[in-house]
Structure 1
């Protein structure tokens, strides 16, 4: 992606490894493009635990192979979720939920039929509580974030509808705004209404056509399907994770702890085995759905916009610290001066964030691309690595934009979002430091 910044490194130093010139910019990491010296000085540790490790192994096994298929066009035909593995995952999920139903029925029977014993109702109540914890839950609209409906933002919903129509799906019923550098789609309520979660920390740093690509990607999940996001399979994954967590061994301090650990040993490993199996059956389809959503982003927003979106995702890690810095700075003063400082910080917060991200130079983007390629699936096993997603978004094109986001449309949408943007900015400034 071409840099959106005109700022240049203030000086050049010599690489200690290969003696090539290294641009020096106090805002970013010094690194050598010739030999990759210092390209990834702060590599994070992988998420601990057996389950994340198993997912990383599966993701690595599928990642490059699936990306190659997508680039060659062999993975882009047919909807996600029609293969034998996905059908098997659905059947296994029904079995998992069947266990929850059995717990529910057993709990009711123990309470009703064993009421006179005094002990059985207590056991029944425990089983009922366990069934409630394990049940699949429909999504809910958040209570602590602005929620927009069609009447609140007709031009925004018109844009979403146009993007959805271009990729063969419907729009959404509600848009939730939060401060995060993220976006996502899900359903809420018993009727499965569609919800788009739009993180202003991401939306505000994107160029206009990159916003169209973002909407294309998110709605692409509805168009192509993703079994892991569904109530049945997603609920089964949550239930098995809950089982594994509840059956985790206690620190063996006394004889009772050793006895409980021995009793739960077999159920714990059954839950773990089923969880790994369900991961194995769904992860490839889930990653394919992610790649297909990226292709939708390119088709509807343009290849250039989709690739630009991938690059913006690389710098999203700096958004949280930037917002936190704004919050801390605004809360350093007390009294009326503090109120004025907070009010001033709320005004123009998103514009300042966008300006800082726009000042990221091209050599920093290139470093982050190389970091993404090095880390691969080590950090996030549920999404393909960004460098593979970037490659797949660029494959098969170049695509021209099917939906445009011109100045007039952008101004109208911004006006509709103004009140919610201000509310989220207020939340950031007053609460983010904590």
Structure 2
């Protein structure tokens, strides 16, 4: 976890982006190894927690990072019911309880009885989650489009569209990280320790690989998404539709621009987390 005193420049950027999209900043920032990002409210006071997936952060340009922050924070200013305190708390509580009632794998005789006792409460929890999903589904899909507009206001339409393109190929980033982790594990204990020592180079190789992806691969992914169609029970609209929606509206300039000095300061604040996450990927493997 990064406290405000540990990363004042990052928090200042989050606050600036939040002001542009019409909300407040966050109370805590956590960095993890996922190719994702999210903001959630927790507790009675509705404290906001920003989770930054470092692999996603590393493959974005500075303006695309602003767009990412703008998208996540805009969920709190566009009427997204799933990010409201009541609904988000209910959803998180139900999800947590459902996790605890998951059947025990390879159970013993006693655990088989426990699994049987878990069936009814697990089905009840699953039913409540399904009802909550359906009640908030349309609002959640609409909120994604509105959050994309917030991203464009903060970082520019060009940066928001670039973020959509990166999201299209996040699977490639996941494959690259698995390959890096597997390569370290195949070299044996001594090789793994050496790889862990130079683990931060994983970010350079990840960025280099993502930069090598040709434009026709992005176009292929967009066409695949169009052929796949839109599932009515999906919480997120297809990425190609979100990209098209951004391009269909007027082009917005960037309200928040990060200069080179600011980028270096934020990078310095994230240096410790970057090294920790890289070593964890090399040592424990990558899990999407």
- Pair 1:270–1:180, CA change in 2 (3 A): closer
**Residues in 2 aligned to 1:432 and 1:282: alpha-carbon distance in whole angstroms:** 35
- 1:146-205 CA distances to partner (integer Å, 9 max, x unpaired)? x11110011111111111111111111111111111000002334221111100111110
1:293 has 2:142 as partner? no
- Pair 1:269–1:203, CA change in 2 (3 A): closer
**Residues in 2 aligned to 1:413 and 1:270: alpha-carbon distance in whole angstroms:** 42
**Residues in 2 aligned to 1:198 and 1:311: alpha-carbon distance in whole angstroms:** 18
1:427 has 2:241 as partner? no
Per the TM alignment, residue 231 of structure 1 is displaced from its structure 2 partner at its CA by 4.5
- 1:397-416 CA distances to partner (integer Å, 9 max, x unpaired)? 20000000221111111011
- Pair 1:195–1:151, CA change in 2 (3 A): same
Alignment of 1:117-132 (within 5 A): none
Match for residue 308 of structure 1?
162
Per the TM alignment, residue 352 of structure 1 is displaced from its structure 2 partner at its CA by 1.2
Would you say how many aligned residue pairs link Structure 1 and Structure 2? 271
Alignment of 1:139-150 (within 5 A): 147-150=1-4
- Pair 1:190–1:394, CA change in 2 (3 A): same
Q: CA RMSD in A?
A: 3.0
Match for residue 242 of structure 2?
389
- Pair 1:380–1:339, CA change in 2 (3 A): farther
Per the TM alignment, residue 428 of structure 1 is displaced from its structure 2 partner at its CA by 0.7
**Residues in 2 aligned to 1:175 and 1:223: alpha-carbon distance in whole angstroms:** 19
Q: Structure 1 length as normaliser, TM-score?
A: 0.57
Q: In structure 1, list runs of 5 or more residues that go unmatched.
A: 1-146, 249-259
Match for residue 14 of structure 2?
160
**Residues in 1 aligned to 2:68 and 2:264: alpha-carbon distance in whole angstroms:** 18
Per the TM alignment, residue 335 of structure 1 is displaced from its structure 2 partner at its CA by 4.7
Match for residue 86 of structure 1?
none
Q: Is the 8 A contact 2:184 2:191 kept in 1?
A: no
Could you say which structure has the higher helix fraction? 2
**Residues in 1 aligned to 2:131 and 2:28: alpha-carbon distance in whole angstroms:** 34
Match for residue 356 of structure 1?
209
1:333 has 2:187 as partner? yes
Per the TM alignment, residue 391 of structure 1 is displaced from its structure 2 partner at its CA by 1.7
- Pair 1:238–1:426, CA change in 2 (3 A): closer
Match for residue 225 of structure 1?
79
- The correspondence for 2:261, drawn from 395, 405, 408, is 408
**Residues in 2 aligned to 1:310 and 1:424: alpha-carbon distance in whole angstroms:** 24
Per the TM alignment, residue 220 of structure 1 is displaced from its structure 2 partner at its CA by 0.5
- 1:358-413 CA distances to partner (integer Å, 9 max, x unpaired)? 11000000000111122233498111111111122223220000000221111111
Match for residue 63 of structure 2?
209
Q: Give the 3-state SS of the residue equivalent to 2:187 in structure 1.
A: coil
Per the TM alignment, residue 279 of structure 1 is displaced from its structure 2 partner at its CA by 3.4
**Residues in 2 aligned to 1:278 and 1:328: alpha-carbon distance in whole angstroms:** 39
**Residues in 2 aligned to 1:187 and 1:419: alpha-carbon distance in whole angstroms:** 26
Q: Is the 8 A contact 2:173 2:206 kept in 1?
A: yes
Q: Give the 3-state SS of the residue equivalent to 2:250 in structure 1.
A: coil
Match for residue 106 of structure 1?
none
Alignment of 1:158-307 (within 5 A): 158-237=12-91, 272=127, 277-307=131-161
Q: Give the 3-state SS of the residue equivalent to 1:296 in structure 2.
A: helix
Per the TM alignment, residue 355 of structure 1 is displaced from its structure 2 partner at its CA by 1.0
Q: Is the 8 A contact 1:177 1:200 kept in 2?
A: yes
